Amino acid sequence: MPAHPPEIEIAGRKVGAAYPPFVICELSGNHNGSLERALAMIDAAAATGCDAIKIQTYTADTITMDVDRPEFRIAGGLWDGRSLHELYQEAQTPYEWHPALFERARARGVILFSSPFDETAVDLLADLGAPAYKIASFEAVDLPLIRYAAARGKPLIISTGMANLEEIEAAKAAALEAGAAGVVLLHCVSSYPAALEDANVRTVADMAGRFGCPVGLSDHTPGTAAAVAAIAMGASVIEKHFTLARADGGPDAAFSLEPDEFRTLVADGKAAWTALGRAHYDLLGSERGNRAFRRSLYVAADVRAGEPLSRANVRSIRPGNGLPPADLDAVLGRPASRDLKRGEPLAWDMVGR
């Protein structure tokens, strides 16, 4: 495997292990049905320093059906008892909002793209000049949708929640074969919210080795710890949900970050990437001045010429101007070649044979 997996490019921004993490601010349905709030979220998200903002493009009828059967109703978790159609009707970002959202993002100088959930969504996003497409975890097995989006010739970011290795490989292959300009795979736990003990961010490093493409994390855990840990594991992309205020409610508010928290995520994530650096054992320029304060052998008590050196009159201490501590056994018991004063750094010409 190369030192860094292959990179992709989204709207002129290079994405890969050789570059700072690409942090995506996911708005999802936290606009709470208000275009004004959605526009305000874009303003607030852009101010966090994120690299991109993501929305979701579907209607309740393109993602599910309004059917009164048990399998169309959610049991347990954050949305217990709600029907799929009801939930998606509330959370959808109407198609007619999309031009205004893309225009606001352009005005704020931030990348905007989306998750399409059917072909009509791909068509709308293509017409708006979306620079990439995100495939959600639940759609990672929808190879026809992946191929349709990939045929637009843009990069695809694919979340892999619930997918096994064969399904992940099939999704990646379908995207590349259909013309995608590269693929990013995101480790994801499809639980809302996800527990930290289920995050398993070591999977990020494993995915990079297995699939040979940029990898990352779509994070539904509370806080920022999992995302920063994923960067340490090699994540090139971090996706995290965003809201103006959790207290305002919204379909995904419970596991979304507020603006100050997201700003911290961006700063800590990029600082963590910087801190990774490279594996090396060379002396850094910033360390050179402190070499003088490493331990070395010093005369600890006055010694007359000919008197044996001992642990009573030679010690390993800071600073580092004397012989290395490793030479202690070699000098013990040997005579001083001249009078030695307490506080002198020990040198070989001060030691007789």
Q: Which residues pair with 317 in a beta bridge?
A: 296
CA distance 91 to 208: 33
Query: Residue 4 has what pLDDT?
Result: 53
Q: What single DSSP character describes residue 96?
A: G
| Cβ proximity of 147 and 204 under 8 Å | no
End-to-end CA, the chain: 56
CA distance 221 to 255: 7
* CATH of the domain spanning 285-350: 3.90.1210.10
Q: What is the pLDDT of residues 240-296, one digit of tens each?
A: 999 999 999 988 899 999 999 999 999 999 999 999 998 888 877 888 888 889 999
Query: Residue 259 has what pLDDT?
Result: 98
CA distance 28 to 241: 7
Extract the runs of DSSP E, i.e. beta strands, from the chain.
Answer: 8-10, 13-15, 22-26, 52-57, 111-116, 133-135, 156-159, 183-188, 215-219, 237-241, 296-299, 314-317
- Give the gyration radius of the chain's Cα atoms: 30
Count how many residues are written for the chain: 353
Strands 314-317 and 296-299: antiparallel
Q: Which residues pair with 196 in a beta bridge?
A: none
Strands 13-15 and 8-10: antiparallel
Query: Residue 315 has what pLDDT?
Result: 97
Query: Residue 3 has what pLDDT?
Result: 47
Query: Residue 5 has what pLDDT?
Result: 57
| Cβ proximity of 311 and 332 under 8 Å | yes
Query: Residue 81 has what pLDDT?
Result: 86
CA distance 101 to 96: 10
Within 10 angstroms of residue 77's Cβ, the number of other Cβ atoms is 10
Distances (CA, A) of 270 to 17, 20, 45, 236, 338: 12, 6, 16, 10, 58
Q: Where in the chain is the domain with CATH 3.20.20.70?
A: 15-276
Positions of the chain with pLDDT lower than 70, given as ranges: 1-5
Left if phi > 0, otherwise alpha if psi is -120 to 50, otherwise beta: which for 129? left
What type of residue is 57?
Answer: T
Q: Where in the chain is the domain with CATH 3.90.1210.10?
A: 285-350
Query: Residue 305 has what pLDDT?
Result: 97
Give yes or no for a cis peptide into 155 (omega within 30° of 0). Answer: no
CA distance 199 to 130: 30
Give me the phi and psi of 18, to 5 degrees please: -80, 0
CA distance 345 to 228: 46
Q: Which residues pair with 84 in a beta bridge?
A: none
Q: What single DSSP character describes residue 61?
A: H
Give me the phi and psi of 249, to 5 degrees please: 75, -175
Distances (CA, A) of 219 to 30, 92, 114, 182, 213: 16, 20, 17, 22, 19
CA distance 294 to 322: 10
Superfamily of domain 15-276: Aldolase class I (3.20.20.70)
